[in-house]
Structure 1
């Protein structure tokens, strides 16, 4: 003879498991941030998101500059960042860029550490060509 478990007991167990999973997920977020914060040297976590808002679900690229790694154009991006003191907004725009006047917005975001200080950058550009012209190799995340 088998006994069935009351529906209220099953529901209580489900609620408890969901609460435990939520606490574990919240507890994991600071450890990921701490892992990035403890990285040595100059580095940036870079994302390019279609549209005019940063999406937390967009996979990024981790650019290391001591030595240049993790990015398809790491050496060039790091050189441009060094010349600008790690400030992406100070990278000189490409004078030879001819971009179409098509509105297809992209949002470029960077966060990390440069010369021992935390840095963050987010800017929405009218299209990817305008972004590349303004930010050099930093957000060229594909070959």
Structure 2
């Protein structure tokens, strides 16, 4: 039994080390900021930066776990899809959909808030961010 456990552990270690060689997620691009929204207050911008900017801007703060597969794959995918949906660094004036998503409580996602306590929004902060997103909607 012990032999099976040792072999299984070694096999898992080999697989873990092998997946580090998969190149997806290695690059951590932060393209230049092209256009940013004009926030109605510094507090609104602070809320957006803490709860949204890591996935929805070109100013991503890449955490240490984003350099280790398979987490690097998940983080890279989340950032790419987040930037595709809404990018505060390439602002096009569409805050309405973002406000609705924040109001529904689906952003920031639970798995992100779990690892980033500063991104957790109280009900009052959620309402403040929603109002700010509506205010910057052109």
- Same topology, TM > 0.5: no
More strand by share: 1
More helix by share: 2
TM-score (norm 2): 0.33
Structure number, greater radius of gyration: 1
